[in-house]
Structure 1
Amino acid sequence: MWLPVLFLLIGLSLGLLTDITIPEQFSDYLSIAVLAAFDTLFGGIRAHLEKKFDERIFLSGFFFNISLAACLAFIGVQLGIDLYLAAVFAFGVRLFQNIAIIRRLVLDQQKNSKQK
């Protein structure tokens, strides 16, 4: 479980230490991609804690989520509507659900280890 957290910290550090600016017209796409990546990351952590982790599902979900979200944002731009907000809502809900379940699993594991 420590490997995804390690790479998350490395990625955040590299992002904060570099002086790369994203053009404003790509900000919708980037926000969707980051949410999709976090959704997949926390889904992988949850699956690991539930002992259901599968690398193929994780990687395919990662690329599929990002691709779907980018397509939604692109179609929304072409139609002149903020369609990316649907993806923001969906990924946001899933992200908070995964975090809540991870919290419960970690607390249950701590409780069970103290009882032994």
Structure 2
Amino acid sequence: MWIPLIGLILGVLMGLLLPVKIPVVYSKYMSVAVLAALDSVFGGLRASMEENFDNAIFLTGFFSNTLLAAFLAYIGDQLGVELYLAAVLVFGVRLFQNLAIIRRHLLKR
């Protein structure tokens, strides 16, 4: 349970403390990558609370979701279609679903 939470906290702290400027051209890619990464982190927290967390599944899911989301945004740019919105919608829904399940687990305790 602690690995995804520690990763999330470290990532937020690094993002707040390091002055990294992302060009506007990459904003679509970063938005879907961040949503995909957050989806994986909250999915890892959920799996940990359900006591079926697997580190290999978490790491492969984290990177494959992030790369797939960025790839969808890239393909959409090449086609002239706002395809990244599909990834934003899917990862946004999954993020809120995982958060709701985590909240239920915490309230049951």
Using the size of structure 1 for normalisation, the TM-score is: 0.89
Partner Cα separation in structure 1 for residue 54 and residue 14 of structure 2: 27
Residue 75, structure 1, aligned to residue 60, structure 2: no
Residue 27, structure 1, aligned to residue 31, structure 2: no
Structure 2 gaps, min length 5: none
Structure 1 gaps, min length 5: 111-116
Identity among equivalent pairs (%): 59
Q: CA deviation at 1:15?
A: 1.1
Match of 2:84 in 1: 84
CA radius of gyration, larger in: 1
Partner Cα separation in structure 2 for residue 73 and residue 19 of structure 1: 25
Q: CA deviation at 1:101?
A: 0.3
Match of 2:57 in 1: 57
Using the size of structure 2 for normalisation, the TM-score is: 0.94
* Larger mean Cα displacement after TM superposition, 43-52 or 55-64: 55-64
Match of 2:100 in 1: 100
Match of 2:2 in 1: 2
Please list the CA deviations of residues 67-99 of structure 1 after superposition, one character each: whole Å capped at 9, or x if unmatched: 110110000000111100000000000000000
Cα-Cα RMSD: 1.0
Count, aligned residues: 109
Ranges of 4+ aligned residues in structure 1 off by more than 4 Å: none
